[in-house]
Amino acid sequence: KAGVTQTPRYLIKTRGQQVTLSCSPISGHRSVSWYQQTPGQGLQFLFEYFSETQRNKGNFPGRFSGRQFSNSRSEMNVSTLELGDSALYLCASMGGNYEQYFGPGTRLTVT
């Protein structure tokens, strides 16, 4: 069974731009969650999508948004990028056993 895949793996953007990250969950998993990891704040939950609907949300500003498609693939969008958005963005998929499996992450650098 293939694991969680994320694209792109690395990204460099300029302040003020927007970015879209993609995540493909493990086959059969309907829940996809996104996390931000920074040296200062650690790992923080962004949001979760289940069956194309946002089911849970963390404490991030509205510049962070996402969506999920009918095949469970998910995208995360960050608009008006700030320097502080530089981070490793991790996607996780969850099956019926309540275990979340993470992808390799997308490392975003904002200059």
Partner 1 sequence: AQKVTQAQTEISVVEKEDVTLDCVYETRDTTYYLFWYKQPPSGELVFLIRRNSFDEQNEISGRYSWNFQKSTSSFNFTITASQVVDSAVYFCALSEAGYSSASKIIFGSGTRLSIRP
Q: Counting contacts by CB under 8 A, is residue 60 touching partner 1?
A: no
Burial zone of 40 (CB within 10 Å; 0-12 exposed, 13-18 middle, 19+ buried): exposed
Which is closer to partner 1, CB of 79 or CB of 107?
Answer: 107
Tokens 């920074």 locate to 38
Q: Counting contacts by CB under 8 A, is residue 48 touching partner 1?
A: yes
Q: How many DSSP H helices and E strands does the chain contain?
A: 0, 11
Q: Please select the residue that binds partner 1; options are 43, 61, 69, 111, rule is CB under 8 A.
A: 43
Q: Give the binding range for partner 1 (CB under 8 A) out of 19-27, 36-44, 60-68, 72-80.
A: 36-44
Tokens 């509205």 locate to 62
Q: Please select the residue that binds partner 1; options are 2, 42, 59, 83, rule is CB under 8 A.
A: 42
100 vs 32: CA distance, rounded Å: 9
Least separation in angstroms between residue 53's CB and partner 1 is: 11
Q: Counting contacts by CB under 8 A, is residue 105 touching partner 1?
A: yes
